[in-house]
């Protein structure tokens, strides 16, 4: 148990400086913190008047991009703070809406939008409102996260996924990838304007020459398959990888040599980790039965969280050798070791249009 847990910690990640970064509310609001590799000596990185709901580090860890819920017509953060206080002090709870969304799933529209700001990690200077003037949320509401934005390889820009707000928003899945320079806030370039469906999950290759992302093909259909695309940073040329693969890709990670992409995807009742050759498009499953909820590369392979119908999530390690079985390295629920779980069996039946439907019993 690391020392950063005292006072609460979440969304931890390593910086290229060898430090451990995380979100914590120990100072009274959710802010970015930094600690030594062993979790000691925590230092507050951001001291903003609003909660940080997502963050990303620049490649050299000198900058941090944060998402804040702001009123888009406010000129500065103080304006949002004052308006939040006015709303909290108002004895009336009525709301006025002149456009959709009023509510998205169970999340009511409070008239704020998630916007991106970039700060120096050493605390110097003022936050730069890089999405100033954009009418939309990044990350998206209500389920978006930091996988929807990233720094450019030189740390001087941000690429993010977002959908334009407005009356058509509830029926639109037209999320595009936008790029903006930290020195030119509000001056956005739409990288995926040609696709009217969903584009998201930008990840740059290790050499910075290629941008990988996921995209849907059917506008307005939010359950469409995510395909994988590569964009040449210099030319803007885009191509699809593994176009014949009949699975929907989740979060992408590049291999260290830039030759392979790793992703998870639902696969006939399982969620497996896959490797994809970016040149040939060859797809190989890395894991077998079970549900992979998160993974990270190591110098020798992977560490991943996996659960199943008979076991809650535990951490496993596996080398790059495909046939080697994963090795469990945690036992978070030892009280379950003495219990016998019922067995589950997958079955199939003919569904609509005689298509095969899979289920468990």
CA dihedral 236, 241, 247, 248 (to 10 degrees): -20
CB 67 within 8 A of CB 53: yes
pLDDT in tens, 272-328: 999 999 999 999 999 999 999 999 999 999 999 999 999 999 999 999 876 789 999
Residue 3 has pLDDT above 90, yes or no: no
Question: What local confidence, expressed as pLDDT, does residue 182 receive?
Answer: 98
Pairwise CA distance, residues 183 & 100, whole Å = 33
**Could you tell me the pTM of the whole model?**
0.95
Question: What local confidence, expressed as pLDDT, does residue 324 receive?
Answer: 83
Say whether the peptide bond before residue 322 is cis (omega within 30 degrees of 0).
no
pLDDT in tens, 193-234: 999 999 999 999 999 999 999 999 999 999 999 999 999 999
Cβ-based neighbours of 196, under 8 Å, separated by 6 or more:
174, 219
Pairwise CA distance, residues 110 & 128, whole Å = 23
CA angle 32, 34, 38 (to 5 degrees): 140
What domains are there in the chain, each with its CATH number? 248-361 (2.120.10.30)
Averaged pLDDT score across all residues of the chain: 96
Question: What local confidence, expressed as pLDDT, does residue 1 receive?
Answer: 81
pLDDT in tens, 102-148: 999 999 999 999 999 999 999 999 999 999 999 999 999 999 999 99
């Amino acid at each position: 148990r690391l020392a950063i847990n005292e006072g609460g910690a979440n969304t931890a990640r390593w910086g290229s400086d060898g430090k451990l970064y995380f979100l914590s509310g120990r100072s009274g609001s959710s802010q970015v913190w930094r600690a030594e590799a062993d979790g000691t000596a925590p230092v507050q990185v951001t001291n903003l008047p609003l909660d940080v709901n997502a963050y990303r580090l620049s490649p050299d860890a000198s900058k941090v991009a944060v998402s804040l819920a702001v009123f888009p017509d406010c000129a500065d953060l103080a304006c949002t703070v004052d308006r939040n206080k006015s709303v909290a002090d108002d004895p009336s709870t009525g709301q006025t809406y002149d456009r959709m969304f009023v509510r998205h799933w169970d999340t009511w529209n409070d008239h704020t939008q998630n916007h991106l700001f970039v700060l120096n990690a050493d605390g110097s200077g003022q936050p730069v409102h890089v999405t100033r003037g954009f009418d939309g949320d990044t990350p998206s509401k209500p389920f978006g996260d930091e996988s929807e934005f990233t720094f450019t390889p030189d740390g001087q820009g941000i690429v993010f996924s977002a959908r334009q707000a407005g009356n058509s928003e509830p029926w639109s899945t037209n999320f595009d990838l936008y790029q903006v320079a930290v020195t030119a806030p509000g001056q956005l370039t739409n990288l995926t304007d040609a696709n009217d469906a969903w584009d998201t999950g930008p990840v740059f290759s290790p050499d910075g020459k290629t941008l990988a992302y996921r995209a849907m093909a059917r506008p307005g259909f939010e359950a469409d398959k995510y395909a994988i695309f590569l964009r040449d940073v210099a030319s803007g040329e885009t191509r699809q990888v593994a176009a014949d693969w009949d699975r929907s890709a989740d979060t992408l990670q590049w291999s260290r040599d830039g030759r392979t992409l790793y992703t998870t995807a639902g696969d006939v009742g399982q969620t497996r980790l896959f490797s994809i050759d970016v040149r040939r498009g060859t797809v190989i499953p890395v894991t077998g039965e079970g549900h992979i909820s998160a993974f990270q590369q190591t110098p020798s392979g992977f560490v991943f969280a996996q659960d199943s119908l008979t076991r809650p999530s535990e951490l496993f390690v596996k080398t790059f050798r495909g046939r080697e079985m994963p090795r469990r390295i945690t036992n978070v629920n030892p009280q379950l070791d003495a219990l016998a779980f019922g067995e589950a069996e997958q079955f199939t039946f003919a569904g609509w249009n005689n298509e095969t439907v899979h289920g468990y019993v």
